[in-house]
Structure 1
Amino acid sequence: MKFIKSLSVAAMAIALITTAVAPASAASTLSGKIVINGSSALLPLTLQAANEFKKLNPKVKISASAAGSVTGPQAVRKGIADIGACDWDASTDVPGFKKFEGQVASKVAVIPFAAVVNSGVKVDNLSTQQLKDIFSGKITNWKDVGGDDATIIVVNRPFGSGTRVNFQQKALEGGTLMDKGNNTKTAAKSGDMKTNIETTPNSIGYIDLVYVAGSKMKALKLNNVSPTEANVINGTYKVWNYGYFMTKGQPTGATKAFIDYIRSTKFQNGSLKKLKFIPLSAIK
């Protein structure tokens, strides 16, 4: 019996020692610096992933900023960023932008975009044609689409914004965006769009759904279809695109490890979904 007790105590001691040293032996040796620039639509996702990744890899430094999608691949081309966050695949031509030669696009998320209005606007649904007429300047009063008698204030993102590219191509079917006039404003980033719509009565703009929750604006239905995750997945809501991380050639080292982490099942089905992005695996 004493022998059995001695074995038990020894086993417990070994288990405690193993547990104590496991974190040290499992500590990440990955090191390096990752600079990310580009899409403000993807910024909440980038920042969340960076925080989680740095906890697992404390020797890796990550800095992220957002000045619009086109600045991402531009920064990669200039060598001032390792990753260019972009709301379109910048390795291919898209309307208004030539492809960035030598860059590789890695999908990181599905981004739903929506037309949004100030919470005081008494309109909940617009047809594609109504939306096109509003953003081209043909319709200028909310009463013409079922709202109050009030001038519509149109808020746009500047040329080079990935949100603008996607909204123009998918919600407006390539239609015109009115950039000048007494009833127009420009929002440099997604956060600025959120602030403008929330604080400007009778305003309309467009943004990715991440910024809508808990705000003083509302996302509009398009042709009676709500901009929800379920409707993106079932194919009834069409205004969405993949978000990409652009790199100069195939990513390596810490950059590759970070992209792999964002694309991992754990992150895709965890933090990414909580932020109202849609996992890559959900789109078949």
Structure 2
Amino acid sequence: MALATLGVVVPGIAALYEFVVKGRKRLGYRVQMDTTASNVVKTDHDGPFAQLMVGNRKLEDPTIVLLRIENNGATNIDESDYSRSHADDTGITITFTDRNVVGAVITEVSDNNISSSFQNGGGFTVKDTVLELPKVPMNRGEHYKVLCALERADGGKGTRQYPPPHVECTIKGGVSGGRIQETKSRTGTPKRVMALVGFLVAIVVAQLFIFASSGDGVPLDCASGHLRLIGSTAFEPVAREAGKSYQDLCPGASFAYEFRGSGEGLQTLDQAGPDVLAFSDGEKPTGLPRLLPRPIAFFLFTLVVNGDAGVQDLSLDQIRQIYQGRITNWQEVGGSDVPIRLISRNPGSGTRAAFQRRVLAGEREPGSNSDDCRTVDPGSPAGVVRCARDTTETVLRTVATTPGAMGYSELGVAAGRKGLVSVRINGHPATVADADHGTYPFWETEFGYTYGEPAANSLAASFLRYLTNQTGADIIRSHGDRPCAELANPQLCRPT
């Protein structure tokens, strides 16, 4: 009886997973203003609105429309999520019935990174009654606004009651096919929410019946036991959140957390054997043949500077000269007149190894010459102040409290930190799209390492599957990174 019911519930869970977890990419739009600009009441303050012009010609029955485009789904949207081909730059098409588009301008962005989609040759395309917008990457909750000036296209033969704009866009992996949806203020509970609640209630009732029949309340693919999670401090926030989520789902499992760096984690795993899972920013060093890798995520890193440095963008050449000690003051690269202080991770850190490999072209960082990160220690040669810290968290705290300091960190941990500025490299921000297309260099594959091949029913194997295929993948995305399978080029994640 329990098996028969399970055959009904499992497809239901799969459908729920597709609807709620995988299908959560969604764009929304709102028409916040659509009004005529003609027949303006004459006052002392009507200004240009009484005589809207294009060139030397007065607009025919002009109207003004303000549109808000927003990511109102639960996951981030990248350029590759728009359904049009890579050769087509258009992401969203807006059609104005009986009205020609005269001009458009972006009036508001929730994040400065959105502005880059409308620069360097990108932006609007106007075709009579149609306005085309580019493929704009947006994190969840972000938005931008477009103000459009239009004029009558029917030669004055129609009515002045124009139909509302028609907005079209398809996002891969979205709810209801991923099509852009108009968002409006509503009262009461939406029908879709009621349907989903009803579906969830049915699932819970079915599960209770299974548990009562079988006497076993353990969900599918749960494993019991104890597992030590060690290694990369950059990956620690993801691992802790995923471990707690797995433990809530599978009460028979427990985890211990010992994150002291990728290098130390791999060495510990090699000595400890099974029942340990080590995470590393990048591949293991040579001499550890018993450790087997599994790609977990495409991890983004960023350079961060103290806010008083006065810089937001550095070229690769400038960064390398700074770490070589040839540039010692931010004023030399257009910033403030403040001495440069470099806050690094200790040797053995996977983040440090990724920085040396991806940004410094394989050149090793010079050793520390300071304990307090502010002055060169007595007996050390004069030059740029250099110090090292054990964890990502201590690097970020030190950079934020040290004038002129610069360091590096996993992107998600650094985002939104007070007193810190993330630095673009060669004009490109730390985004999955830029890294995936080779224009942003500071990234690395996060690997999960096991001591040999774990048994299929072991906690280590089950937790790795959870990270890459289930809720763990959502947790990875929530920290600003991506599961390897979601990249446009998944082979970037593979061991070389």
TM-score w.r.t. length of structure 2: 0.51
SS at structure 2 position matched to 1:262: helix
1:190 matched to 2:392? The reply is yes
The match for 1:255 among 447, 460, 472 is 460
C-alpha displacement at 1:40, in angstroms?
Answer: 0.3
| Residue 215 of structure 1, aligned match among 408, 411, 417 | 417
Give the aligned partner of residue 3 of structure 1.
none
How do 1:54-93 and structure 2 match up within 5 A? Answer: 54-79=247-272, 82-90=276-284
CA distance in 1 between partners of 2:292 and 2:225 (Å): 20
Task: Look up the equivalent residue of 2:391 and give its one-letter code.
Answer: K
**2: distance between equivalents of 1:23 and 1:234?**
48
Q: Deviations over 1:192-237 (max 9, x none)?
A: 1111111111100111101111202121111111112221233321
- 1:57–1:140: structure 2 CA closer, same or farther, 3 Å change rule? same
Q: Is the 8 A contact 2:280 2:449 kept in 1?
A: yes
Local SS of the residue matching 1:196: helix
CA pair 214-23 structure 1, distance change in 2 beyond 3 A: farther
User: Residue 33 of structure 1: SS of its match in structure 2?
Assistant: strand
Contact kept in structure 2, 1:156 and 1:179, CA below 8 Å = no
3-state DSSP of counterpart to 2:482: coil
Distance in 2, matches of 1:192 and 1:184, equals 15
CA deviations 1:59-98 (Å, max 9, x no partner) are: 11111121110111111111166111111221xxxxxx42
Q: Which runs of 5+ in 2 are unaligned?
A: 1-202, 370-375, 377-384, 490-496
The aligned amino acid for 2:229 is: I
282, 298, 307: which one aligns with 1:110: 298
SS of the equivalent of 2:262 reads coil
The runs of 5 or more residues in structure 1 that have no matched partner are 1-14, 91-96
Q: Which structure carries more relative contact order (alpha carbon 8 Å, separation 6+)?
A: 1
- 2:305 aligned counterpart, secondary structure: strand
User: 2: CA distance between counterparts of 1:146 and 1:17?
Assistant: 64
- Structure 2 CA distance for aligned equivalents of residues 37 and 271 of structure 1: 18
Alpha-carbon displacement from aligned partner over 1:154-208 (angstroms, at most 9, x marks no partner):
1111110000000011011122413233212211111111111111111001111
Choose between structure 1 and 2: higher helix proportion.
1
Query: For 1:220, what is the secondary structure of its paired residue?
Result: strand
Distance 1:126 1:157 in 2: 20
Match of 1:34 in 2: 227
Equivalent position of 2:478 in the other structure: 274
SS of the residue aligned with 1:70? helix
Query: What amino acid does structure 2 have at the position aligned with 1:154?
Result: L
Q: Deviations over 1:96-153 (max 9, x none)?
A: x424111100111111112110122211111111101111211111111111111101
**Cα deviation, residue 19, structure 1:** 5.4
Structure 1 residues 16 and 266: alpha-carbon distance in aligned structure 2, compared to 1, 3 A threshold: closer
TM-score, length basis structure 1? 0.87
CA shift, 1:18, in A, is: 5.2
More strand by share: 2
Distance change in 2, residues 1:33/1:98 (3 Å):
same
Report the CA distance shift for 1:56/1:126 in structure 2 as closer, same or farther (over 3 A): same
| Equivalent pairs, count | 263
How far is 1:265 from its partner? 4.5
1:1-284 aligned at under 5 Å gives the runs 20-23=208-211, 25=214, 27-28=217-218, 30-79=223-272, 82-90=276-284, 97-181=285-369, 182=376, 183-216=385-418, 217-252=420-455, 253-268=458-473, 270-283=474-487, 284=489
Distance in 1 separating the partners of 2:468 and 2:322? 38
Deviates more, 1:120-129 or 1:18-27: 18-27
> 3-state DSSP class of the match of 1:36?
strand
Distance 1:238 1:265, change over 3 A: farther
- For 1:189 and 1:160, the matched residues in 2 are separated by 11
> In 2 relative to 1, CA 63–151 (structure 1 residues): closer, same or farther, beyond 3 Å?
same
SS at match of 2:398: helix
State the distance in 2 between where 1:105 and 1:131 align: 31
SS at match of 1:258: helix
